[in-house]
Structure 1
Amino acid sequence: MPEENETPFDNIRLQIKPGIDRDSTSEAVTFPYSSGLSVSLLEKTPEGLIPITVDRVAELNKNVKDLLQIAVSNTVKQELHDLSVYDHRLTADDRIRLVAKDDSPFVSSIMISIERLLPANIEFGALVSAPRYSTVLIYAVESDIALDVAVALDRLTRSMFAESTDALSAQLFWWHAGNYYPVGINTNTSGSPKLSLPPELSSVVNQLPQSGRRLGD
Protein backbone atom coordinates (compact mmCIF):
# COMPACT_ATOMS: atom_id res chain seq x y z
CA MET A 1 0.00 0.00 0.00
CA PRO A 2 1.18 3.58 -0.64
CA GLU A 3 2.74 5.33 2.28
CA GLU A 4 0.85 8.19 3.91
CA ASN A 5 1.18 11.45 1.96
CA GLU A 6 2.87 9.62 -0.93
CA THR A 7 2.22 11.09 -4.37
CA PRO A 8 2.47 9.37 -7.78
CA PHE A 9 5.68 11.31 -8.39
CA ASP A 10 7.49 9.85 -5.37
CA ASN A 11 7.92 6.50 -7.13
CA ILE A 12 9.38 7.78 -10.37
CA ARG A 13 12.93 6.61 -11.03
CA LEU A 14 15.59 6.95 -13.70
CA GLN A 15 17.60 4.11 -15.20
CA ILE A 16 20.63 4.28 -17.48
CA LYS A 17 20.64 1.69 -20.27
CA PRO A 18 22.86 0.93 -23.28
CA GLY A 19 21.56 2.36 -26.55
CA ILE A 20 17.95 2.47 -27.71
CA ASP A 21 16.14 -0.42 -29.36
CA ARG A 22 14.92 1.42 -32.43
CA ASP A 23 13.01 -1.66 -33.62
CA SER A 24 11.02 -1.84 -30.40
CA THR A 25 7.30 -1.09 -30.54
CA SER A 26 7.27 -0.14 -26.87
CA GLU A 27 5.85 3.28 -26.01
CA ALA A 28 8.06 3.55 -22.92
CA VAL A 29 9.68 6.95 -22.48
CA THR A 30 13.33 6.39 -23.42
CA PHE A 31 15.68 8.88 -25.03
CA PRO A 32 19.39 9.30 -25.78
CA TYR A 33 21.61 10.37 -22.91
CA SER A 34 25.09 10.15 -24.40
CA SER A 35 26.91 8.16 -27.05
CA GLY A 36 25.75 4.57 -26.67
CA LEU A 37 23.58 5.27 -23.61
CA SER A 38 19.93 6.06 -23.02
CA VAL A 39 17.70 7.07 -20.12
CA SER A 40 14.45 5.33 -19.18
CA LEU A 41 11.77 6.62 -16.84
CA LEU A 42 10.23 4.00 -14.54
CA GLU A 43 7.73 3.70 -11.73
CA LYS A 44 8.75 1.68 -8.69
CA THR A 45 5.79 -0.41 -7.52
CA PRO A 46 5.33 -3.39 -5.15
CA GLU A 47 5.05 -5.54 -8.27
CA GLY A 48 8.35 -4.28 -9.68
CA LEU A 49 9.58 -1.58 -12.05
CA ILE A 50 7.09 -0.43 -14.68
CA PRO A 51 8.21 1.64 -17.69
CA ILE A 52 6.54 5.03 -17.92
CA THR A 53 4.71 5.28 -21.24
CA VAL A 54 3.56 8.29 -23.22
CA ASP A 55 0.03 7.65 -21.97
CA ARG A 56 1.25 7.57 -18.36
CA VAL A 57 3.01 10.92 -18.87
CA ALA A 58 -0.34 12.36 -19.96
CA GLU A 59 -2.05 10.87 -16.89
CA LEU A 60 0.53 12.47 -14.61
CA ASN A 61 -0.06 15.82 -16.32
CA LYS A 62 3.65 16.64 -16.45
CA ASN A 63 5.99 17.11 -19.39
CA VAL A 64 8.87 14.71 -19.85
CA LYS A 65 11.48 17.31 -18.85
CA ASP A 66 9.78 17.83 -15.48
CA LEU A 67 9.45 14.08 -14.94
CA LEU A 68 13.12 13.61 -15.76
CA GLN A 69 14.10 16.15 -13.10
CA ILE A 70 11.84 14.41 -10.59
CA ALA A 71 13.30 11.02 -11.53
CA VAL A 72 16.88 12.22 -11.09
CA SER A 73 16.13 13.70 -7.67
CA ASN A 74 14.22 10.62 -6.47
CA THR A 75 16.85 8.21 -7.74
CA VAL A 76 19.76 10.06 -6.15
CA LYS A 77 18.00 10.56 -2.81
CA GLN A 78 16.27 7.19 -2.50
CA GLU A 79 18.49 4.74 -4.38
CA LEU A 80 22.07 6.06 -4.51
CA HIS A 81 22.63 7.32 -0.96
CA ASP A 82 23.96 4.05 0.48
CA LEU A 83 26.18 2.62 -2.23
CA SER A 84 29.28 0.58 -1.39
CA VAL A 85 32.37 2.24 -2.87
CA TYR A 86 35.77 0.59 -2.59
CA ASP A 87 39.03 0.01 -4.43
CA HIS A 88 39.41 -3.17 -6.44
CA ARG A 89 42.72 -4.56 -7.67
CA LEU A 90 42.60 -4.77 -11.47
CA THR A 91 46.22 -5.68 -12.17
CA ALA A 92 49.35 -6.03 -10.05
CA ASP A 93 49.91 -2.27 -10.38
CA ASP A 94 46.48 -0.77 -10.97
CA ARG A 95 43.31 -0.36 -8.97
CA ILE A 96 39.85 0.73 -10.02
CA ARG A 97 36.91 2.03 -8.02
CA LEU A 98 33.99 -0.38 -7.74
CA VAL A 99 30.56 1.03 -6.92
CA ALA A 100 27.83 -1.45 -6.03
CA LYS A 101 24.61 -2.18 -4.17
CA ASP A 102 23.33 -5.74 -4.03
CA ASP A 103 20.20 -6.37 -6.09
CA SER A 104 19.75 -2.70 -6.96
CA PRO A 105 18.63 -1.93 -10.53
CA PHE A 106 19.68 1.71 -10.16
CA VAL A 107 23.44 1.76 -9.47
CA SER A 108 24.15 2.36 -13.15
CA SER A 109 22.25 5.65 -12.80
CA ILE A 110 25.28 7.03 -10.93
CA MET A 111 26.68 7.58 -14.42
CA ILE A 112 24.61 10.76 -14.66
CA SER A 113 26.78 12.28 -11.92
CA ILE A 114 29.97 10.25 -12.21
CA GLU A 115 32.12 13.27 -11.32
CA ARG A 116 31.06 12.98 -7.67
CA LEU A 117 33.12 9.77 -7.52
CA LEU A 118 36.19 11.28 -9.19
CA PRO A 119 39.00 13.55 -7.98
CA ALA A 120 38.18 17.26 -8.17
CA ASN A 121 39.08 19.08 -11.38
CA ILE A 122 39.97 15.88 -13.20
CA GLU A 123 41.36 16.89 -16.59
CA PHE A 124 41.37 13.72 -18.66
CA GLY A 125 38.15 12.06 -17.55
CA ALA A 126 37.64 8.47 -16.53
CA LEU A 127 37.12 4.98 -17.87
CA VAL A 128 33.66 3.79 -16.85
CA SER A 129 31.61 0.64 -17.36
CA ALA A 130 28.37 -0.77 -15.97
CA PRO A 131 28.47 -4.53 -16.56
CA ARG A 132 25.54 -4.90 -14.16
CA TYR A 133 22.66 -2.65 -13.19
CA SER A 134 23.99 -3.07 -9.64
CA THR A 135 27.69 -2.38 -10.37
CA VAL A 136 29.74 0.42 -11.93
CA LEU A 137 33.50 0.29 -12.48
CA ILE A 138 35.57 3.49 -12.60
CA TYR A 139 39.19 4.39 -13.33
CA ALA A 140 40.28 8.03 -13.14
CA VAL A 141 42.51 8.84 -16.12
CA GLU A 142 45.67 10.65 -15.06
CA SER A 143 48.37 9.41 -17.47
CA ASP A 144 49.04 7.13 -20.44
CA ILE A 145 48.74 4.18 -18.05
CA ALA A 146 45.00 4.47 -18.72
CA LEU A 147 45.61 3.04 -22.21
CA ASP A 148 46.81 -0.19 -20.61
CA VAL A 149 44.16 -0.13 -17.93
CA ALA A 150 41.46 0.16 -20.60
CA VAL A 151 42.38 -3.26 -21.98
CA ALA A 152 42.26 -4.92 -18.57
CA LEU A 153 39.08 -3.08 -17.58
CA ASP A 154 37.39 -4.08 -20.82
CA ARG A 155 38.27 -7.70 -20.08
CA LEU A 156 36.86 -7.47 -16.54
CA THR A 157 33.72 -5.71 -17.77
CA ARG A 158 33.00 -8.43 -20.33
CA SER A 159 33.61 -11.16 -17.77
CA MET A 160 31.28 -9.60 -15.20
CA PHE A 161 28.65 -8.97 -17.86
CA ALA A 162 28.74 -12.58 -19.05
CA GLU A 163 28.48 -14.02 -15.54
CA SER A 164 25.84 -11.63 -14.20
CA THR A 165 22.19 -12.24 -13.42
CA ASP A 166 21.46 -8.51 -13.87
CA ALA A 167 23.65 -7.88 -16.90
CA LEU A 168 23.54 -4.37 -18.34
CA SER A 169 26.35 -3.69 -20.83
CA ALA A 170 29.72 -5.11 -21.85
CA GLN A 171 30.70 -1.74 -23.33
CA LEU A 172 33.56 0.26 -21.84
CA PHE A 173 33.26 4.06 -21.98
CA TRP A 174 35.64 6.99 -21.62
CA TRP A 175 33.88 9.82 -19.81
CA HIS A 176 35.21 13.27 -20.58
CA ALA A 177 33.71 16.76 -20.29
CA GLY A 178 30.27 15.37 -19.50
CA ASN A 179 30.10 12.90 -22.39
CA TYR A 180 30.55 9.14 -22.63
CA TYR A 181 32.51 7.78 -25.59
CA PRO A 182 32.60 4.05 -26.41
CA VAL A 183 36.02 2.41 -26.22
CA GLY A 184 36.75 -0.46 -28.58
CA ILE A 185 39.39 -3.16 -28.15
CA ASN A 186 40.62 -4.71 -31.38
CA THR A 187 43.47 -7.10 -32.15
CA ASN A 188 46.49 -5.98 -34.15
CA THR A 189 48.46 -8.10 -36.61
CA SER A 190 50.60 -9.55 -33.81
CA GLY A 191 47.54 -10.65 -31.88
CA SER A 192 47.93 -8.02 -29.18
CA PRO A 193 44.97 -5.90 -28.06
CA LYS A 194 44.71 -2.43 -29.57
CA LEU A 195 42.52 0.44 -28.42
CA SER A 196 39.98 1.91 -30.80
CA LEU A 197 38.94 5.39 -29.70
CA PRO A 198 36.57 7.93 -31.28
CA PRO A 199 38.16 11.04 -32.84
CA GLU A 200 36.67 13.23 -30.08
CA LEU A 201 39.25 11.73 -27.68
CA SER A 202 42.31 12.26 -29.88
CA SER A 203 43.36 15.52 -28.25
CA VAL A 204 42.81 14.06 -24.78
CA VAL A 205 45.02 11.05 -25.51
CA ASN A 206 47.73 13.25 -27.05
CA GLN A 207 47.89 15.36 -23.89
CA LEU A 208 48.13 12.47 -21.42
CA PRO A 209 51.22 12.74 -19.20
CA GLN A 210 53.80 10.04 -19.92
CA SER A 211 54.20 7.67 -16.99
CA GLY A 212 57.48 6.13 -18.06
CA ARG A 213 55.93 2.71 -17.59
CA ARG A 214 56.39 0.30 -20.44
CA LEU A 215 52.88 -0.12 -21.75
CA GLY A 216 51.56 -3.42 -22.98
CA ASP A 217 53.49 -5.54 -20.46
Structure 2
Amino acid sequence: MRRPDWAASWDDDDWDRFVGLVRDHLVERGAAARVVDGAVLLDDRPAIGLASLARTCRTLEQEDWRPTVADRLDQLLDGPTHEVPTTFAEAAPRLRVRLYADDGRLGPEAAVTRPAAEGLSWTLVADAGDVLATVLPEEAAAWGRPEDEVFDVAFGNVRAETPDVAVERRGGLAITSVTGDSVYTSTHVRWLDQHVRVPPAGALVILPTRHAVHAYALDGPQAVDAPEVLIEMAGERSAEGPGELTADLFWWRAGDLLRLRVHEADGRPTLELPERLDELFAELRSDR
Protein backbone atom coordinates (compact mmCIF):
# COMPACT_ATOMS: atom_id res chain seq x y z
CA MET A 1 0.00 0.00 0.00
CA ARG A 2 1.32 3.43 -0.89
CA ARG A 3 2.23 5.35 2.22
CA PRO A 4 0.81 8.90 2.52
CA ASP A 5 3.21 11.84 2.80
CA TRP A 6 2.32 12.41 6.46
CA ALA A 7 3.61 8.92 7.29
CA ALA A 8 6.97 9.30 5.54
CA SER A 9 8.89 9.27 8.83
CA TRP A 10 7.32 6.03 10.08
CA ASP A 11 9.41 2.90 10.48
CA ASP A 12 8.19 0.24 8.01
CA ASP A 13 7.39 -2.29 10.75
CA ASP A 14 5.49 0.28 12.83
CA TRP A 15 3.50 1.43 9.80
CA ASP A 16 2.58 -2.13 8.84
CA ARG A 17 1.53 -2.82 12.42
CA PHE A 18 -0.66 0.29 12.57
CA VAL A 19 -2.39 -0.41 9.25
CA GLY A 20 -2.81 -4.05 10.24
CA LEU A 21 -4.60 -3.06 13.45
CA VAL A 22 -6.94 -0.78 11.50
CA ARG A 23 -7.75 -3.52 9.01
CA ASP A 24 -8.22 -6.12 11.75
CA HIS A 25 -10.75 -3.95 13.56
CA LEU A 26 -12.67 -3.21 10.37
CA VAL A 27 -12.90 -6.96 9.73
CA GLU A 28 -14.05 -7.58 13.32
CA ARG A 29 -16.84 -5.05 12.83
CA GLY A 30 -17.80 -6.48 9.47
CA ALA A 31 -17.41 -3.00 7.98
CA ALA A 32 -17.62 -2.59 4.22
CA ALA A 33 -14.38 -0.65 4.10
CA ARG A 34 -10.80 -0.72 2.90
CA VAL A 35 -7.62 1.13 3.84
CA VAL A 36 -6.11 3.13 0.97
CA ASP A 37 -3.41 5.82 1.11
CA GLY A 38 -3.76 6.43 4.83
CA ALA A 39 -7.55 6.60 4.91
CA VAL A 40 -10.49 4.28 5.50
CA LEU A 41 -12.72 4.24 2.43
CA LEU A 42 -16.32 3.28 3.19
CA ASP A 43 -19.14 2.35 0.87
CA ASP A 44 -21.82 4.33 2.67
CA ARG A 45 -20.20 7.47 4.13
CA PRO A 46 -17.26 9.87 3.67
CA ALA A 47 -13.71 8.59 3.98
CA ILE A 48 -12.03 8.63 7.39
CA GLY A 49 -8.51 10.02 7.47
CA LEU A 50 -6.05 8.20 9.72
CA ALA A 51 -3.42 10.90 10.24
CA SER A 52 -4.72 12.04 13.63
CA LEU A 53 -5.14 8.48 14.93
CA ALA A 54 -1.67 7.53 13.69
CA ARG A 55 -0.14 10.55 15.39
CA THR A 56 -1.84 9.57 18.66
CA CYS A 57 -0.53 6.01 18.43
CA ARG A 58 3.03 7.23 17.97
CA THR A 59 2.84 8.88 21.40
CA LEU A 60 1.82 5.58 23.06
CA GLU A 61 3.44 2.27 23.87
CA GLN A 62 2.68 -0.29 21.17
CA GLU A 63 0.66 -2.46 23.54
CA ASP A 64 -1.80 0.45 23.76
CA TRP A 65 -2.24 0.78 20.01
CA ARG A 66 -4.91 -1.89 19.57
CA PRO A 67 -7.43 -0.49 22.10
CA THR A 68 -6.72 3.06 20.91
CA VAL A 69 -7.36 2.13 17.28
CA ALA A 70 -10.51 0.21 18.23
CA ASP A 71 -11.94 3.01 20.37
CA ARG A 72 -11.32 5.70 17.77
CA LEU A 73 -12.65 3.72 14.84
CA ASP A 74 -15.75 2.81 16.83
CA GLN A 75 -16.36 6.49 17.59
CA LEU A 76 -16.02 7.41 13.93
CA LEU A 77 -18.01 4.52 12.53
CA ASP A 78 -20.80 4.71 15.12
CA GLY A 79 -21.01 8.49 15.08
CA PRO A 80 -23.93 10.42 13.65
CA THR A 81 -24.49 10.67 9.93
CA HIS A 82 -26.89 12.78 7.95
CA GLU A 83 -28.28 12.81 4.49
CA VAL A 84 -27.48 15.70 2.18
CA PRO A 85 -30.73 17.65 1.62
CA THR A 86 -32.45 16.80 -1.65
CA THR A 87 -33.54 20.36 -2.45
CA PHE A 88 -31.25 23.32 -2.94
CA ALA A 89 -33.39 25.49 -0.67
CA GLU A 90 -32.78 23.07 2.21
CA ALA A 91 -29.14 22.50 1.36
CA ALA A 92 -28.05 26.11 0.81
CA PRO A 93 -27.70 27.17 4.49
CA ARG A 94 -25.64 24.05 5.21
CA LEU A 95 -23.25 24.27 2.29
CA ARG A 96 -19.59 25.00 2.95
CA VAL A 97 -16.31 24.71 1.06
CA ARG A 98 -13.56 22.86 2.86
CA LEU A 99 -9.94 22.75 1.78
CA TYR A 100 -8.64 19.20 1.39
CA ALA A 101 -5.24 17.80 0.49
CA ASP A 102 -5.30 15.76 -2.71
CA ASP A 103 -4.33 12.51 -0.99
CA GLY A 104 -6.51 10.12 -2.96
CA ARG A 105 -9.35 9.94 -0.43
CA LEU A 106 -11.81 11.89 -2.55
CA GLY A 107 -11.98 10.85 -6.18
CA PRO A 108 -14.21 12.57 -8.78
CA GLU A 109 -17.00 10.09 -8.10
CA ALA A 110 -16.96 10.81 -4.35
CA ALA A 111 -16.92 14.60 -4.16
CA VAL A 112 -17.63 17.87 -5.94
CA THR A 113 -14.29 19.65 -6.07
CA ARG A 114 -12.39 22.47 -7.70
CA PRO A 115 -8.62 22.92 -7.76
CA ALA A 116 -7.31 25.40 -5.18
CA ALA A 117 -3.61 24.84 -5.87
CA GLU A 118 -1.32 21.97 -6.71
CA GLY A 119 -2.05 19.39 -4.03
CA LEU A 120 -5.17 21.13 -2.68
CA SER A 121 -8.84 21.15 -3.64
CA TRP A 122 -11.91 23.15 -2.70
CA THR A 123 -14.44 20.50 -1.69
CA LEU A 124 -18.19 20.96 -1.33
CA VAL A 125 -19.67 19.71 1.95
CA ALA A 126 -23.01 19.90 3.75
CA ASP A 127 -22.66 20.81 7.44
CA ALA A 128 -25.33 19.91 9.99
CA GLY A 129 -23.44 21.31 12.96
CA ASP A 130 -22.39 18.10 14.68
CA VAL A 131 -21.45 16.25 11.49
CA LEU A 132 -20.62 17.10 7.90
CA ALA A 133 -20.95 15.11 4.71
CA THR A 134 -19.10 15.42 1.44
CA VAL A 135 -21.60 16.26 -1.29
CA LEU A 136 -21.65 13.63 -4.02
CA PRO A 137 -21.79 14.74 -7.67
CA GLU A 138 -25.21 13.13 -8.17
CA GLU A 139 -26.56 14.91 -5.08
CA ALA A 140 -25.42 18.30 -6.37
CA ALA A 141 -26.76 17.54 -9.85
CA ALA A 142 -30.19 16.76 -8.38
CA TRP A 143 -30.50 20.37 -7.19
CA GLY A 144 -30.61 21.56 -10.79
CA ARG A 145 -28.42 24.60 -10.12
CA PRO A 146 -25.23 25.64 -11.95
CA GLU A 147 -22.11 24.51 -10.13
CA ASP A 148 -20.84 28.10 -10.01
CA GLU A 149 -23.94 29.13 -8.07
CA VAL A 150 -23.59 26.22 -5.65
CA PHE A 151 -19.96 27.07 -4.91
CA ASP A 152 -20.77 30.78 -4.58
CA VAL A 153 -23.33 29.98 -1.88
CA ALA A 154 -20.97 27.58 -0.10
CA PHE A 155 -18.05 30.03 -0.18
CA GLY A 156 -20.35 32.78 1.04
CA ASN A 157 -21.35 30.74 4.08
CA VAL A 158 -17.70 30.24 5.03
CA ARG A 159 -16.86 33.86 4.36
CA ALA A 160 -19.52 34.91 6.86
CA GLU A 161 -17.53 33.24 9.63
CA THR A 162 -15.10 35.48 11.51
CA PRO A 163 -11.75 33.86 12.30
CA ASP A 164 -9.22 35.35 14.70
CA VAL A 165 -6.39 37.41 13.21
CA ALA A 166 -3.18 38.03 15.12
CA VAL A 167 0.49 38.73 14.49
CA GLU A 168 3.11 36.38 15.89
CA ARG A 169 6.86 37.00 15.86
CA ARG A 170 9.03 34.26 14.45
CA GLY A 171 12.60 34.47 13.19
CA GLY A 172 12.47 38.23 13.46
CA LEU A 173 9.44 38.40 11.17
CA ALA A 174 5.87 39.43 11.91
CA ILE A 175 3.75 36.54 10.62
CA THR A 176 0.02 37.19 10.32
CA SER A 177 -2.01 34.21 11.54
CA VAL A 178 -5.67 33.64 10.70
CA THR A 179 -6.94 30.96 13.08
CA GLY A 180 -10.17 29.46 14.39
CA ASP A 181 -11.92 26.38 15.72
CA SER A 182 -13.85 26.00 12.47
CA VAL A 183 -12.65 23.28 10.09
CA TYR A 184 -13.20 25.84 7.33
CA THR A 185 -10.68 28.39 8.65
CA SER A 186 -8.11 27.43 6.02
CA THR A 187 -10.69 28.26 3.33
CA HIS A 188 -10.23 31.91 4.32
CA VAL A 189 -6.97 31.90 2.35
CA ARG A 190 -9.28 32.62 -0.59
CA TRP A 191 -9.87 36.08 0.92
CA LEU A 192 -6.42 36.60 2.41
CA ASP A 193 -6.38 40.26 1.46
CA GLN A 194 -9.37 40.83 3.74
CA HIS A 195 -7.34 39.69 6.74
CA VAL A 196 -3.82 40.81 5.76
CA ARG A 197 -2.51 43.88 3.98
CA VAL A 198 -1.21 42.28 0.80
CA PRO A 199 0.95 44.33 -1.62
CA PRO A 200 0.78 43.83 -5.40
CA ALA A 201 3.62 41.29 -5.18
CA GLY A 202 1.43 39.10 -2.98
CA ALA A 203 2.31 37.07 0.09
CA LEU A 204 3.89 33.79 1.07
CA VAL A 205 1.39 31.48 2.76
CA ILE A 206 1.34 28.20 4.66
CA LEU A 207 -1.73 26.09 5.46
CA PRO A 208 -0.46 23.56 7.99
CA THR A 209 -3.88 22.64 9.38
CA ARG A 210 -7.52 23.18 8.53
CA HIS A 211 -7.65 25.65 11.43
CA ALA A 212 -5.00 28.13 10.29
CA VAL A 213 -3.59 30.34 7.56
CA HIS A 214 -0.19 31.95 8.17
CA ALA A 215 1.07 34.64 5.80
CA TYR A 216 3.91 37.09 5.26
CA ALA A 217 3.46 39.97 2.82
CA LEU A 218 6.15 40.29 0.13
CA ASP A 219 6.99 43.86 0.99
CA GLY A 220 10.42 45.00 2.15
CA PRO A 221 13.87 43.38 2.23
CA GLN A 222 13.04 41.13 5.21
CA ALA A 223 10.72 39.15 2.94
CA VAL A 224 13.72 37.21 1.62
CA ASP A 225 13.92 35.51 5.04
CA ALA A 226 10.27 34.49 5.00
CA PRO A 227 10.51 31.22 3.01
CA GLU A 228 12.84 29.50 5.46
CA VAL A 229 10.87 30.74 8.47
CA LEU A 230 7.52 29.68 7.02
CA ILE A 231 8.74 26.27 5.81
CA GLU A 232 10.00 25.46 9.30
CA MET A 233 6.76 26.73 10.82
CA ALA A 234 4.64 24.67 8.40
CA GLY A 235 6.47 21.47 9.29
CA GLU A 236 6.04 22.05 13.01
CA ARG A 237 2.40 23.13 12.93
CA SER A 238 1.23 20.42 10.52
CA ALA A 239 2.85 17.76 12.71
CA GLU A 240 1.27 19.22 15.85
CA GLY A 241 -2.22 19.33 14.36
CA PRO A 242 -5.03 18.92 14.86
CA GLY A 243 -6.37 18.69 11.33
CA GLU A 244 -3.11 18.38 9.38
CA LEU A 245 -3.46 19.82 5.87
CA THR A 246 -0.11 20.47 4.15
CA ALA A 247 3.46 21.47 4.97
CA ASP A 248 3.92 23.11 1.56
CA LEU A 249 4.67 26.78 0.93
CA PHE A 250 2.48 28.83 -1.42
CA TRP A 251 2.64 32.17 -3.20
CA TRP A 252 -0.67 34.02 -2.90
CA ARG A 253 -1.20 36.68 -5.53
CA ALA A 254 -4.47 38.31 -6.58
CA GLY A 255 -6.45 35.44 -5.09
CA ASP A 256 -4.45 32.66 -6.76
CA LEU A 257 -2.33 30.10 -4.91
CA LEU A 258 0.86 28.73 -6.44
CA ARG A 259 2.66 25.88 -4.72
CA LEU A 260 6.39 26.53 -4.41
CA ARG A 261 8.60 23.49 -4.76
CA VAL A 262 11.27 22.98 -2.13
CA HIS A 263 14.35 20.77 -2.13
CA GLU A 264 17.17 20.30 0.35
CA ALA A 265 20.57 21.85 -0.39
CA ASP A 266 23.36 21.70 2.19
CA GLY A 267 20.82 20.78 4.83
CA ARG A 268 18.67 23.85 4.16
CA PRO A 269 15.39 24.17 2.27
CA THR A 270 15.88 25.73 -1.16
CA LEU A 271 13.00 27.08 -3.21
CA GLU A 272 12.46 26.60 -6.90
CA LEU A 273 11.00 30.01 -7.68
CA PRO A 274 8.94 30.98 -10.71
CA GLU A 275 10.63 33.66 -12.79
CA ARG A 276 8.55 36.60 -11.54
CA LEU A 277 9.07 35.69 -7.89
CA ASP A 278 12.78 35.05 -8.46
CA GLU A 279 13.11 38.55 -9.92
CA LEU A 280 11.24 40.02 -6.96
CA PHE A 281 13.51 38.30 -4.45
CA ALA A 282 16.57 39.54 -6.35
CA GLU A 283 15.22 43.10 -6.08
CA LEU A 284 14.55 42.67 -2.36
CA ARG A 285 18.05 41.32 -1.74
CA SER A 286 19.57 44.31 -3.49
CA ASP A 287 17.72 46.60 -1.07
CA ARG A 288 19.24 44.98 2.04
Of residues 77, 81, 84, the one that matches 2:164 is 84
Residue 101 of structure 1 corresponds to which residue in structure 2? 180
Write the mapping of 1:1-217 to structure 2, written as runs, cut at 5 A.
7-19=90-102, 21=104, 24=107, 26-77=109-160, 80-81=161-162, 83-91=163-171, 93-102=172-181, 104-119=182-197, 122-188=199-265, 190-208=266-284, 210-212=286-288
Structure of greater Rg:
2
TM-score of the superposition, structure 2-length normalised?
Answer: 0.63
Distance 1:47 1:87 in 2: 31
Which of 1 and 2 has higher RCO (CA within 8 Å, sep 6+)?
1
- Measure, in 2, the Cα distance between the counterparts of 1:170 and 1:153: 9
Structure 2 portions without partners, runs of 5+: 1-84
User: Is the partner of 1:105 in helix, strand or coil?
Assistant: coil
Task: Give the whole-Å Cα distance in 2 for the aligned partners of 1:160 and 1:11.
Answer: 29
RMSD of Structure 2 on Structure 1 (CA)? 2.5
1:154: Cα distance to partner?
0.6
- Superposition deviation, residue 20 in structure 1: 6.6
Give the number of aligned pairs: 202
Report the more deviating stretch, 44-53 or 15-24. 15-24
Q: Which amino acid aligns with 1:107?
A: T
Q: Closer, same or farther in 2 for the Cα pair 1:19/1:200, shift >3 Å? A: farther
How far 1:145 sits from its partner (Å)? Answer: 2.3
Higher helix share: 2
| CA deviations over 1:110-169 (Å, ceiling 9, x no partner) | 01111112226x121101111110111111111342221210111111111011121111
User: Which string of whole-angstrom CA distances, capped at 9 and with x for unpartnered residues, describes residues 14-59 of structure 1?
Assistant: 1122347398364210121334431100000245110111111122
Corresponding position of 1:215: none
TM-score of the two chains, using structure 1 as the length reference: 0.82
- Structure (1/2) with the larger strand percentage: 1
User: Identical aligned pairs, as a percentage?
Assistant: 25
Change (3 A) 1:177 1:205: farther
CA distance in 1, matches of 2:253, 2:220: 14
Partner SS state of residue 284, structure 2: coil
Distance 1:55 1:164, change over 3 A: same
2:117 and 2:167 mapped to 1: Cα distance? Answer: 26
- Shift in CA distance, 116/46, structure 1 to aligned 2, threshold 3 Å: closer
